[in-house]
Amino acid sequence: MSIPLVPNLLRAHLSELAENDSRIDGRDRWQGRETQVEVDVLPRAEGSARVQMGDTIVFAGVKFQVMQPYSDRPNEGGLMCSAEVRPIAGRNWEAGPPSPEAIELGRVVDRGIRESGCIDVESLCIIPGEKAWQVILDLFAISDDGNLFDAFALAGIAALRSAVIPAERFEVGKDSPLGVSKTPIMCSYHKVGGRFVYDACHREELGGDERIHITLGDDGNVHSLQKGLKGIFSTEEFDEIMRHALGRTNELRDLIN
């Protein structure tokens, strides 16, 4: 991703808005954009979802491969999660090998899903030591108007929940739904104009500072955290974010349950 010039005017404008407790698109500090989730949208994927949050649009697609289990874990299959942000998604994204930003995106989403234990990797074993399913979750951005993290995480878990293991095509039994026992949800916060806001749009990301990503499970347990970009935050600020995330993750979970 090319680093765009950040106009000082934009930063000044965002600070001014923050003083009056408003945001560049008129939202409340903790208000998310309108969010829509559709599943089974990609005919060639074994599970898929499309998420739109305001003008941010992403796809998630699930594919399966047969792998040989790792020798130290002969009874386990695997989960692989990768994120791609190609030039279609915005004028600052460039072609070529994945940028550090795209790699961070994929890894943070991956950790939230993996560590929640929502996929029982032992259930992916076909023949111990010989054959197991590898679940591949591909996250793909179509339009980046900020907060790809939350859009990817939501599309990712929605796609996994809709996935069907294509056992008949690989001639290893009958097709069956992929068991997904939990619903981890991510909420992201950006410091804009000196205070944290939820679900930043592109201009807020451009003129903002550090960001914090929180993934919470059904029971409110914490599954992944990430602080990104340059900036300093306090325990009090984090507590405030966590309180909001506890409520918001439940609202988003209702969208896909």
Partner 1 sequence: MGGYGDVQMIDENGLRVDGRGPGDLREITIETGVVPVADGSCRMTWGTNEAIVAVYGPMEAHPRKIQRQDRAVLDVGYNMAPFSTTDRMRPGFNRRSREISKVTKDALESVVLLELFPRSKIRISIEIVSAEAGTRCVGLTAASVALADAGIPMTDMVVSVASGKINDIVVCDLNKEEDNYGEADLPMGILPNSGELVFLQMDGDLSQEEFKQAWNYNMDAAHVIHEHMVEALKGGAVQ
* Interaction site with partner 1 (CB under 8 A): 2, 42-45, 48, 55, 57, 59, 61-63, 65, 82, 84, 86-91, 95, 97-98, 136, 138, 140, 142-145, 169, 202
Task: Please state the length of the chain.
Answer: 257
- Angle (nearest 5°) at CA 185 between 76 and 239: 120
Q: With respect to partner 1, which residue has the nearer C-beta, 63 or 107?
A: 63
Which residue type sits at 64? F
CB of 89 vs partner 1, minimal distance in Å: 7
Nearer to partner 1, 33 or 213 (CB): 33
Would you say 165 or 216 has its CB closer to partner 1? Answer: 165
Which H/E stretch holds residue 209?
none
Pairing of strands 185-192, 164-165: unpaired
What per-residue string of b and e applies to 133-158 under the rule 16 or more CB within 10 Å gives b?
bbbbbbbbbbbbbbbbbbbbbbbbbb
- Would you say 163 or 241 has its CB closer to partner 1? 163
Residue with Cβ nearer partner 1 (87 or 129): 87
Cβ-based nearer residue to partner 1, 48 or 249: 48
CB of 137 to partner 1, least distance (A): 9
- CA dist 19 and 256 (Å) reads 36
End-to-end CA distance of the chain: 34
Closest distance to partner 1 from the beta carbon of 205 (Å): 12
Task: Characterise 170 by phi-psi region: left (phi > 0), alpha (psi -120 to 50), beta (else).
Answer: alpha
State the nearest-atom distance from the C-beta of 40 to partner 1, in Å: 12
Angle at which helices 148-161 and 235-256 cross, to 10°: 40
Q: Least CB distance from residue 248 to partner 1, whole Å?
A: 23
Nearest-approach distance from CB 188 to partner 1, in angstroms = 18
Burial class (CB in 10 A: 0-12, 13-18, 19+), 70: exposed
